Amino acid sequence: MNDRPARRPALVGARTQLSEDVAGRVREQILTGVIEPGSYVRIAHLSTQLQVSATPVREGLLILTGEGFLSLVPRHGFRVNPITSRDVADMYRMQAEMAALLAERAVATITEADIEELKDLQAEIEKAWDDRDRQRLQRLNHAWHRHINLAADSHRLAWLLAQTTRFSPWQLFDSVPGWPQASASDHRAILAAMRAQDGPAAAAAMYSHIAHAGALVLDMMDQQQ
C-alpha cells in the first residue's frame, strides 16, 4: 500500500493558478497598450519580469492564445493580436445584455439594506474619483456591480458576465474621458429603478450604463488611432 501523500494535484492546481495570474498580467498590459499589437511576448523576458518559471509563463500565454489576444507564430513565439473597435463593441454589447438581465432579476430579491449599501459604495466611488485614487476607484466600482450580480441569485449568468469582462479595459476606468462621471449618474438611475421595484426599468438603465461605457471606450480608441 502506498502511503505517500497525493501531492501532485495540489502542485498542478498551484501551477494552474500561477498560469492564470500570468495570463491576467499580460492581458492587462495588452488591454492598456503597454504591450503593443504586433509585438512579440518573450517567455524568457516575462519569466524574469514576473519572477516566475518558464512553464507557467508559457501556459499563461497559451491561455491568451486561446482567448485570441495572442497568436503562436512558429519559430518566432507569441505575437500580440490587434484589438479592433468591433471586438470592443461586441464585448460591451454582450456585457450589457447579461448585466441588464442580472439587474432585472436582482429587483425581485434586493433588500433596502442592499440599496443602502449600494448608495454608500457609490458615495465612496465619487470620493475616490475626486481623490484620483485609481486602485480604490476600480475596486469600489467592481464591488458595486458585484453586489447587484450576487443579489440576482443567477450564479452561472454572473459567471458568464465575469468571463466577458476580462476582455474589456476596465483598468482604464479612470483614464477614459467621461467614464467615472458617467458611472455616477448612470448608477443613480439603476438604483432608482431598483428602489421602485421596476425590473424592466432596472434592466434598461443597466444596459444603457454598460453601453455608455463601451461608447466612451470606443471614442477614446478612435482618438488614439
Q: Going residue by residue through the chain (225 aa), what tens digit of pLDDT does each one get?
A: 455 444 444 444 565 788 988 998 898 888 777 889 999 999 999 999 999 999 999 999 999 999 889 999 998 899 999 988 888 889 899 999 999 999 999 999 999 999 999 999 989 988 887 887 877 877 888 899 999 999 999 999 999 998 888 776 665 666 677 777 777 778 989 999 999 999 999 999 999 999 998 888 888 777 766
Q: Map grid coordinates 459567471 to a residue.
A: 159
Over the chain, what HEC string results? CCCCCCCHHHHHHHHHHHHHHHHHHHHHHHHCCCCCCCCEECHHHHHHHHCCCHHHHHHHHHHHHHHCCEEEECCCEEEECCCCHHHHHHHHHHHHHHHHHHHHHHHCCCCHHHHHHHHHHHHHHHHHHHCCCHHHHHHHHHHHHHHHHHHCCCHHHHHHHHHHHCCCCHHHCCCCCCHHHHHHHHHHHHHHHHHCCCHHHHHHHHHHHHHHHHHHHHHHHHHHC
Domains of the chain: 8-80 (1.10.10.10), 85-224 (1.20.120.530)
72-95 as b/e: b if 16+ CB within 10 A: eeeeeebebbebeeeebbebbebb
pTM assigned to the model = 0.76
What is the distance between the alpha carbons of residues 140 and 144, in angstroms, rounded to a whole number?
A: 6
pLDDT of residue 169: 61
Residue 179 neighbours by CB distance under 10 Å = 20
Residue 99 neighbours by CB distance under 10 Å = 27
pLDDT of residue 10: 43
Nearest in space to 161 (alpha carbons), one of 217, 97, 218: 97
pLDDT of residue 181: 75
